[in-house]
Amino acid sequence: MPLRPSKLKLFFAALISSQLLVSAAMAASDDIIISAVGDVMMGTNYPDESMLPPDNGFGLFDPAKQWIQAADVRFANLEGTLFDGEPQPDGKKPGPNRYLFKTPTVMGQRLIDAGFNVISLANNHVKDFGQAGMQSTKATLATLGLQYSSKAGEVALLSAKGNKIALIATDFYAGKRSITNPIAVYEEIRKLKKEGYIVLVSSHVGGEGSTHVSLDGTEMYLGENRGDSVKFARTAIDSGADSIIMHGPHVPRAIELYNKKLIIYSLGNFLTGRGISTNGTSGQAPLIRYQINRNGEFVGGQIVSFIQKKGPHRIEVDKKAGALTTIYNMTQEQFNGGGLSFEKNGIIRSAGSNALP
């Protein structure tokens, strides 16, 4: 029998409480807790304002705030720009992969409201409106007090429980911090590690729309080299990285433990406006909270499944746990369980038996 609205609220309140308590119980007092989501594009007023949410997006992240905020590092990939200007001559050129996202700068406050404290700007939409759009995005984030990293070389610096934490953002394009020519990235990781940082690496990579990671080399999409995700992630960890957070395919993918470090092969979309498809697995919106110790080793965590809805666009807790199911299935199929144990409530631990049917 379906739950009445009042009982549904109580159900979700109990779900939130139980998941946060179970996850917290796995963490030692000095463990670092990370919450991470994939692509965020809150709405765009290009080509017109019909693709913007009402009230400047107020409350967009409310269903997820408790999970986002219950962490030391609170990460999202900003898919697009925070910009109030016109299309720019140095913006994205016409072609098969030309979609432009321009979110009004006033909506940057929604990222603060949600609780995020570090943003990736290394992706294929941050230059949709050229250098003006990129600089506006960075200036808006800086004014809000949000750490960010892009291909230009910024290192997002955080601290938690006496630990120095550095996050660097990479993508598949040529130039700095490219996973298609990653030697300099590995060198940067080694340098940060020698300086005493816990090193997190964000990567916008992979062919769009496929839940499968390429296990035998480079992925191609629309004629673009989208990188060898597995080789890059594992070599980055061998170079000193403590966790790899990938996004870009717009769908969830597998996760695995490699040398006791967590690799997330795609967090897919989290909250994307009307300019990005939410059909099928593209609408699955995972949030991963996990703990690492001072050595960067995975302690435990949880996958919380959200789903994107339209009319109006929003996120909701997914009672069917679609994102968890996709991540679990891909982890079993492609990585033989990934060295992880999954539970029905979304809790993940290092290998035992994989309990999720």
List, for residues 92-116, the tens digit of each pLDDT value.
Answer: 876 656 789 999 999 999 999 999 9
Q: Exposed/middle/buried for 300, CB within 10 Å: 0-12, 13-18, 19+?
A: buried
- Give me the pLDDT at residue 5, please: 40
What does the pLDDT read at residue 32? 97
User: What is the structure's pLDDT at 322?
Assistant: 97
DSSP class of residue 142? Answer: H
Q: If DSSP codes are grouped into helix, strand and coil, which group holds residue 134?
A: helix
Strand, helix or coil at 43?
A: coil
Give the pLDDT of residue 141: 98
Average pLDDT over residues 183-202: 98
pLDDT of residue 260: 97
The pLDDT of 143-152, averaged and rounded, is 98
Confidence of residue 15 (pLDDT cuts 50, 70, 90): low
Greater confidence (5 vs 161) lies with: 161
User: 97 is written with which tokens?
Assistant: 């992969």
The answer on pLDDT for 6 being more than 50 is: no
Query: For position 1, what pLDDT does the model report?
Result: 30
pTM as predicted: 0.92
More confident residue, 129 or 25: 129
Percentage with pLDDT > 70 across the chain: 89
Question: What structural domains and CATH numbers belong to the chain?
Answer: 23-350 (3.60.21.10)
Q: What is the pLDDT of residue 117?
A: 98
Q: Average pLDDT in the 304-318 region? A: 94
Determine the pLDDT at residue 96: 58
Would you state the pLDDT for residue 23? 54
Q: How many CB atoms lie within 10 A of CB 4?
A: 9
Statement: residue 9 has pLDDT above 80: no
Span between the terminal Cα atoms of the chain, in Å: 24
Q: Which residues pair with 225 in a beta bridge?
A: 220
Residue 276 banded pLDDT, cuts 50, 70, 90: confident
Cα–Cα dist 276/72, whole Å: 29
| SS3 state of residue 78 | strand
Nearest to residue 204, comparing CAs of 151, 283, 130? 151
Q: Does the structure show a pLDDT above 80 at 356?
A: no
